[in-house]
Amino acid sequence: MAVIDPECTQPWIRFKNWNQLIELDLVSMRFVNVQSLLKVVGSQLVSLTLEVDEEQGKGSELVFIAKTCSSLKSLRILIGDKTLMGESNLCYDLPYFRKVEKLVIEGSVHLHAFVFLWGHCRALKFLRMGSVVSNNGTSTNVLVYEVFTLLLQVNKMAFLEELHIKNLKIRSLHMGLLLLDNLPRLLKASNFLLDIYGQDLILFKQKLAFLRQKRGLVLDYKEW
């Protein structure tokens, strides 16, 4: 239950003297109970792991972490069987998660949260998360060609080396080539479900073979 008021920093006041504290791992916590802690030590954290197996609001949790933990390079959120929500109102000019290089979401991610994270994490090298969904409690990945087209205009993911999104269905040759051609440093990817056939499937595999030889790309995929 909620036991600490988000505005009450008194329980954590001694942490202000812990100048070397850069990593925090919080397990089985309600988010409301750690907000005041992040207000105290968030700005100095480089790595944060947060387990919040609970129903959320409209994504304010992600915004709060972004505001209070501006130096993060690694962020891992365990959401259980719930869905990580995200803000629907986006403003990519705000300096959120600009230093994050490794992002792991253990659980499903709402499309709004995915768009929020992709747009802000400009230094990302490693991305792993569950299915990107449109509703809580579902597992169908809703990512399509048009979504990636728009997101790559916002953030080109110029440094991304690993991409692991559960049930990432490649619904067309255009979608597959879009990802392969526009992630120049991608070295490893998994969970691609190829929903393409015939000549398109042949062309996609030829592209993979070319990138495997050119830059050592390893891609784990299944034919749908």
Question: What percentage of the chain exceeds 90 in pLDDT?
Answer: 72
**Per-residue model confidence as pLDDT tens digits over 32-69:** 888 889 999 999 999 999 998 776 666 788 999 999 99
pLDDT of residue 136: 66
Residue 109 pLDDT more than 70? yes
Q: Is 108 exposed, middle or buried (0-12, 13-18, 19+ CB in 10 A)?
A: buried
CB 46 within 8 A of CB 71: yes
Q: Is 190 exposed, middle or buried (0-12, 13-18, 19+ CB in 10 A)?
A: middle
Residue (of 97, 48, 57, 35) closest to 76 by Cα position:
48
**Domains by residue range for the chain, with CATH:** 22-223 (3.80.10)
**Per-residue model confidence as pLDDT tens digits over 159-191:** 999 999 999 999 999 999 999 999 999 999 999
DSSP helix/strand/coil, 115: helix
From 13-22, 135-144, 157-166, 167-176, the region with the lowest mean pLDDT: 135-144
pTM for the model stands at 0.93
